[in-house]
A and B are shown apart, each in its own frame.
Chain A
């Protein structure tokens, strides 16, 4: 097409870029910046993660890492804390996921049962934890969970504790859940709204109570969105650690709430056990990267056309 345009309007041919680009060049020009950045910050890091995991890189050997093969992985498997970390990760993912999907469903059902104006306000309110800067969000949680007389939770329950320290898992799951629920809420709301009104009328005439309508008509029609949200958020939860880092930093104490991704991060990037074990952290991260690649491809195959319909525009926690 560029060629015929060039023939038709000689003055355009003079435009420098157009001239150099020719027939196959235009897409390259448009794609160049994105391709460079994606290459640099997605593809290269994936390979780098794998590479680093096979070296003994640390603070000392930063400039000259040595190849040590699978030694990091063996060290990992032999780590006495590994079962604890795996358990924590499972606990974190399973419970937060249950909360996210369950609360998301509940919110979607409730907010679509009232007039749209009020439904919108409810959903907007639940969007707030997600758009709030994480550090501020965590600050609020800290403020509310302090000891009496300052912390609201302590005041209400009559038990004065620092609740983050006393019930770290509960706080973690709730805090992450309040952010994560909005993802499901929005997707399920959209799905519910696409159910034709006639089906609700028919169910009413058939004799269904509101409960029965939800259980037998609405929920079965939400099967795919539910699966999609579950799959997407499982992967997301496996690799996220921001709120955990800020709320409990993996504690209190040793590894109480440390999950896999957080442990990887700390091994590599904080002065944890004296010698920053970059390679070891990279090895842990490599697991996540590999899982991430496999699952992303897999879930996208299955959900591809559903994803097109649901169109999540949200980077989730």
Chain B
């Protein structure tokens, strides 16, 4: 937006002021995890490894860190994988195939996309108990992957719509079955979309709190989110250690952010086209 003349200083100042809270938050997290205490944003004393003792031993009756860590990693990866595969299969069908009820299906996906899935948590709790999937990783994985599906299908449909028909026609004429066309021709061509959806699903699942909080009870299946939350609810919270745990937990996200700022902006901003 060319505003003439470009009023650099005023705009820069305005934005800097608005963005201070976020910067402050980041700094707090980094410093609190590293130092013994901080006053405001000023560290007091020396850096300490005490905050990080959760890495080597279970703290306060909690399971050792690798338990929630592995659970969360497994959860995130499986959700992302399921999401990518199932959503692109469905999106491919909607985008490239004709079948009775196609318009209805697309409409359903659109409506669900806007529908607030979190309002279903109570029913889902009940259902998982009945199905015997309560307090299991499979249960949460399935739920999370399902709730993200409308978004995923919508996203992937956009990418499939963009592909030219020629390649698929040629492949079909060459004798490939529809599945092979999908798997060997179309799927690889929408890689940017797959990456975008995968990243998005990964980030979303990595940070997921409500689902593990509601649907998982036993500490053996705890996730990083509920693990960290247990620190927050203590009467005299050890902020140093909580921050260290938080820093540890958020590290992959922060890394991704630093390395892939542009990329993240693209996928969240809808700028990625196939």
The answer to whether A313 touches B90 (Cβ under 8 A) is no
Is B111 among interface residues, defined by CB-CB distance under 8 A? yes
Alpha-carbon separation in the docked complex, A134 to B264 (Å): 18
Is A288 among interface residues, defined by CB-CB distance under 8 A? yes
Q: How far is the CB of B169 from chain A (nearest CB, A)?
A: 9
Is B71 among interface residues, defined by CB-CB distance under 8 A? no
The answer to whether B209 touches A31 (Cβ under 8 A) is no
Which of A52, A114, A238, A304 has the largest number of chain B CB atoms within 10 A? A114
Is B235 among interface residues, defined by CB-CB distance under 8 A? no
Which applies to chain B's interface (DSSP): helix, strand, loop or mixed?
Answer: helix
The answer to whether A30 touches B242 (Cβ under 8 A) is no
Is B54 among interface residues, defined by CB-CB distance under 8 A? no
Which of A1, A103, A136, A246 has the largest number of chain B CB atoms within 10 A? A136
Is B243 among interface residues, defined by CB-CB distance under 8 A? yes
Which of under 10, 10 to 19, 20 to 34, or 35 or more describes the interface residues of A?
Answer: 35 or more
Is B25 among interface residues, defined by CB-CB distance under 8 A? yes
Task: Note all chain A residues with C-beta closer than 8 A to B153.
Answer: 34
Q: How far is the CB of B6 from chain A (nearest CB, A)?
A: 7
Task: Note all chain A residues with C-beta closer than 8 A to B231.
Answer: 139
A12-B176, A192-B1 known; A265-B122 Cβ under 8 A: yes
A41-B147, A132-B250, A186-B268 known; A143-B32 Cβ under 8 A: yes
Is A230 among interface residues, defined by CB-CB distance under 8 A? no
A131-B264, A136-B246 known; A12-B118 Cβ under 8 A: no
Q: Which of A40, A131, A139 contacts B146 (CB 8 A)?
A: A40
Nearest neighbor of B226 in chain A, beta-carbon distance: A135
The answer to whether B105 touches A150 (Cβ under 8 A) is no
Is B49 among interface residues, defined by CB-CB distance under 8 A? no
Nearest neighbor of A249 in chain B, beta-carbon distance: B233
Task: Note all chain A residues with C-beta closer than 8 A to B114.
Answer: 232, 235, 295-296, 299-300
Q: Which residues of B contact A (CB under 8 A)?
A: 1-4, 6-8, 11-12, 14-15, 18-19, 21-26, 28-29, 32, 37-41, 85-87, 89-90, 92-94, 97, 99-100, 102, 105, 108, 110-112, 114-127, 129, 142-143, 145-151, 153, 155, 158, 172-179, 182, 196, 200, 203-204, 206-207, 209-210, 214, 224-225, 228-229, 231-232, 237, 239, 242-243, 246, 249-250, 253, 256-257, 261-262, 264-265, 267-271
> Which 10 A-B residue pairings sit nearest by Cβ, starting from the closest?
A9-B175, A133-B207, A239-B116, A34-B90, A41-B146, A45-B123, A30-B93, A48-B123, A155-B40, A27-B99
Known: A49-B120, A296-B115. 18 other contacts (CB 8 A): A26-B179, A28-B99, A31-B94, A35-B90, A37-B149, A44-B127, A45-B123, A132-B207, A134-B225, A136-B246, A139-B29, A142-B237, A152-B41, A186-B269, A268-B125, A269-B121, A289-B120, A296-B114
Q: Can you list 11 A-B contacts with CB-CB less than 8 angstroms, sorted by A residue number?
A: A11-B175, A26-B93, A27-B99, A42-B120, A114-B12, A121-B261, A131-B253, A264-B119, A289-B119, A289-B120, A300-B111
